[in-house]
Amino acid sequence: MDNQRVFVWAALALVLWLNYVAWQRDYAPPPTAPAATAEVPQREDSTLPELPSSPGEATPTPEQPVDPSTDTTTGGGSIIRVKTDVLSMDISTRGGELVRADLLEYPRVKDQPDVPVRLFDTTPPGIFVARSGLRVAGREAEPTHQAIFESPATEYELAQGANELVVPLRWTDGQGVTVTKTYTFHPGSYRVDLTYEVTNESDAEWKAASYVQLVRHHEHVERSYFKVETYAYRGPAIFDGEAYRKLDVEDAEDRAFEASITGGWMAALQHHFVAAAVPPTDVAYKFTLDVNPRNDFTLTYIGPLRAVAAGATEKFSETLFVGPKLQSQLEVTGPRLELVADYGKLTVIAQPLFWLLDKVHGIVGNWGWAIVIVTFLIKLAFYRLTAASGRSMAKMRNLAPRIKAIQERYKDDREQLGRQMMELYKREKINPLAGCLPILIQIPFFLACYWVLLESVEMRQAPFLGWITDLSARDPYFILPLLMGAAMFAQFKLQPMPSADPIQAKIFMFMPLIMAVMMAWFPAGLVLYWLTNTLLSIAQQWRINKLVAAEQKKT
């Protein structure tokens, strides 16, 4: 019983600590962000990446300063409108910058289907654009994101049944070099292919390095227990060919990030959506992060210099992704790009869990029912393990009168009480801690399910039944949490009383209410998972109780 008392108080302490952490996150004073120029040396006030010194190297060389007034606007260029079945995008002829991206199939809020989520935007202070271009060695004219390109049209729309939509932009240096910068869009896809075709009709070799920049204004987001989406990461991230890493804009070391990476990519993340750039995977690219005094971050990669001989034609290529974190599209766009659906340290459980949910959803067509079925499959997988625990609990329930008698008899002698209880457990072949095992098994799956529901855009605004119109948001009427609390109370009644101590008994009795209140603000899909799991546990324990009672009658 002493051991049980320790577990009771440990569980209560954990609940109180979780509430304290949530309170601190919601109401504690926000941390002071480091000054942009205070601890980290800033590079030149130039939006152009540093040019590699020679082919195969990515070492910086001194450059002429660029007018900082070109840093946050697309002035000097006209707008090209591009529309596919899933994207509506603006491209500026000034450098071919992507300055607006609306995701046509993803409403900002569910009851306003005509107002799509917007990723790229140039409206201050929330600037978010994708820049790209070629840096040229030894020439004054460069087809960078500051150069003016020509376009044969101002509007492009993907024709029904077409396999692709090609948007070409043309630039020339007036000395025989012509660059055709082409964006290629695909139906139903958020992948955008970017190519440069360089034709060198001059009498000299032409050397250039391709680059991409993701520029975004960073706003500190306060986490709130009542808004689970605030726990999703928002900011820059990279993949270095081996590991995925989030870069904290408010961290001094990350603000000066710089690395040479082969087979990687970079991305700017927010809840459910991402803009990413993937360079060719067979050569090293230099990746950097800069943060200016306005708290705009610029995540850049630039490749090695490549030579285009006189009279020759060469191609440079990049891959962009602008849209929702659809893992089926992400994994074919770049190496491990699906990691932007960030499940944290439980990825090893969460990714297979999402895969299973996705397969079941493909059969039933409803994410809510998919959660119910997958919960049943998980319960089935651990049936033997939880059944052994359930048998111990059923035996303890049947021994409750004898346990109470021993507690009454030795209530003034704790040492003797403990000895008698252990002898009883040993004689009856009961493990008093067996009831903790199912909970320990469920915790990692519960947390993995939480992150899957939080991060998987596939379940964003996904309906279930009746009033549940969005499994990734809380139940608007708190019906599921109340049902979950009632189910947990019924489960409590099926289990043996942990102790004759009335205080401990009351704590256990109020645990379902505490859990219902805590989970009232969690995604409805997560509450549905816990409710389903609890109902299945009740059915299993009820059946085990009947079997154990029948066995004891025979003996």
Each residue's pLDDT tens digit, 168-208: 999 999 899 999 999 999 999 999 999 999 999 999 999 99
Of the candidates 367, 378, 373, 279, which has an alpha carbon nearest to the alpha carbon of residue 321? Answer: 279
Assess whether 250 and 120 both reside in one domain: yes
Q: Read off the pLDDT band of 438 (50, 70, 90).
A: low
> Which helix or strand (DSSP H or E) is residue 245 part of?
strand 244-246
Burial class (CB in 10 A: 0-12, 13-18, 19+), 354: buried
Domain membership flag for residue 378: yes
To the nearest whole percent, how much of the chain has pLDDT over 70? 79
For 291, the domain range is: 77-339
Number of Cα atoms under 13 Å in the Cβ half of residue 246: 16
Of the candidates 148, 53, 48, which has an alpha carbon nearest to the alpha carbon of residue 91? Answer: 148
Assess whether 184 and 281 both reside in one domain: yes
Q: Read off the pLDDT band of 19 (50, 70, 90).
A: low
* Of the residues 309, 339, 369, the one at which a domain ends: 339
Residues 472, 476, 477, 482, CA torsion sign: positive
Assess whether 173 and 144 both reside in one domain: yes
Domain membership flag for residue 45: no
Q: What is the pLDDT of residue 36?
A: 34
Assess whether 164 and 310 both reside in one domain: yes
Angle separating helix axes 367-381 and 383-398, nearest 10 degrees: 70
Per-residue pLDDT for 310 more than 80? yes
Tokens describing residue 286: 């230099």
Q: Which residues pair with 276 in a beta bridge?
A: 267, 321
Domain membership flag for residue 539: yes
Assess whether 326 and 375 both reside in one domain: no
Q: Read off the pLDDT band of 216 (50, 70, 90).
A: very high
Q: What is the pLDDT of residue 401?
A: 73
Range with the poorest average pLDDT among 6-15, 126-135, 275-284, 414-423: 6-15
* Cβ(139)–Cβ(206) below 8 Å: yes
pTM of the model: 0.80
Assess whether 373 and 497 both reside in one domain: yes
Q: Which residues pair with 121 in a beta bridge?
A: 128
In terms of pLDDT, which residue wins out, 397 or 216? 216
Assess whether 256 and 357 both reside in one domain: no
478-492 average pLDDT score: 90
Q: What is the pLDDT of residue 502?
A: 59
Q: What is the pLDDT of residue 379?
A: 86
Q: Which residues pair with 260 in a beta bridge?
A: 286
Range with the poorest average pLDDT among 153-162, 372-381, 392-401: 392-401
Buried-exposed string 397-407: b where 16+ CB fall within 10 A, e elsewhere: bbbeeebeebb
Domain membership flag for residue 82: yes
188 dihedral zone (left: phi>0; alpha: psi -120 to 50; beta):
left
> Which helix or strand (DSSP H or E) is residue 180 part of?
strand 177-185
Range with the poorest average pLDDT among 55-59, 387-391, 468-472: 55-59
Domain membership flag for residue 7: no
Helix (H, G, I), strand (E, B) or coil at 472: coil
Mean pLDDT over all residues of the chain?
A: 83
Q: What is the pLDDT of residue 255?
A: 92
Q: What is the pLDDT of residue 68?
A: 35
To the nearest whole percent, how much of the chain has pLDDT over 90? 52
In terms of pLDDT, which residue wins out, 411 or 48? 48
Q: What is the pLDDT of residue 396?
A: 67
- For 322-337, write each residue's pLDDT tens digit: 999 999 999 999 999 9
Q: Read off the pLDDT band of 501 (50, 70, 90).
A: low
> Which helix or strand (DSSP H or E) is residue 323 part of?
strand 313-324
Of the candidates 357, 348, 272, which has an alpha carbon nearest to the alpha carbon of residue 528? Answer: 357
Per-residue pLDDT for 553 more than 90? no
* Of the residues 339, 360, 387, the one at which a domain ends: 339
Q: What is the pLDDT of residue 496?
A: 59
Q: How many CB atoms lie within 10 A of CB 455?
A: 25
Q: What is the pLDDT of residue 390?
A: 67
Of the candidates 437, 440, 444, 443, which has an alpha carbon nearest to the alpha carbon of residue 390? Answer: 437
Q: Read off the pLDDT band of 424 (50, 70, 90).
A: confident
Q: What is the pLDDT of residue 4?
A: 46
Domain membership flag for residue 105: yes
500-518 average pLDDT score: 73
Per-residue pLDDT for 439 more than 80? no
Of the candidates 156, 217, 345, 190, which has an alpha carbon nearest to the alpha carbon of residue 278? Answer: 190
Q: What is the pLDDT of residue 16?
A: 54
Residues 6+ apart with CB under 8 A from 441: 382, 385, 386
Q: Residue 537 CA to chain centroid, in angstroms?
A: 30
Assess whether 253 and 368 both reside in one domain: no
- For 265-296, write each residue's pLDDT tens digit: 999 999 999 999 999 999 999 999 999 988 89
Of the candidates 93, 91, 113, 92, which has an alpha carbon nearest to the alpha carbon of residue 103? Answer: 113
Q: What is the pLDDT of residue 386?
A: 72
- For 79-119, write each residue's pLDDT tens digit: 999 999 999 999 999 999 999 999 999 999 888 889 999 99
Q: What are phi and psi of 394, to 5 degrees?
A: -65, -40
Assess whether 355 and 266 both reside in one domain: no
Tokens 């457990």, residue located: 425
Q: What is the pLDDT of residue 168?
A: 98
Per-residue pLDDT for 123 more than 80? yes
Q: Read off the pLDDT band of 357 (50, 70, 90).
A: very high
Q: What is the pLDDT of residue 294?
A: 86
291-307 average pLDDT score: 94
Tokens 């209140």, residue located: 517
Of the candidates 249, 244, 235, which has an alpha carbon nearest to the alpha carbon of residue 264? Answer: 244
Distances (CA, A) of 275 to 73, 120, 128, 214, 455: 19, 9, 10, 8, 15
Of the candidates 61, 102, 39, which has an alpha carbon nearest to the alpha carbon of residue 254? Answer: 39
Assess whether 370 and 275 both reside in one domain: no
CATH of the domain at 262: 2.70.98.90
> Which helix or strand (DSSP H or E) is residue 381 part of?
helix 367-381
Assess whether 110 and 247 both reside in one domain: yes
Of the candidates 207, 182, 179, 180, which has an alpha carbon nearest to the alpha carbon of residue 310? Answer: 207
* Cβ(74)–Cβ(99) below 8 Å: yes
Domain membership flag for residue 141: yes
* Of the residues 310, 339, 368, the one at which a domain ends: 339
Tokens describing residue 7: 């577990």
∠ Cα 74 75 76 (to 5°): 120
∠ Cα 434 440 445 (to 5°): 140
What total of structural domains would you count in the chain? 2
∠ Cα 243 247 249 (to 5°): 180
Assess whether 368 and 456 both reside in one domain: yes
Distances (CA, A) of 482 to 240, 520, 524: 46, 8, 12
Domain membership flag for residue 42: no
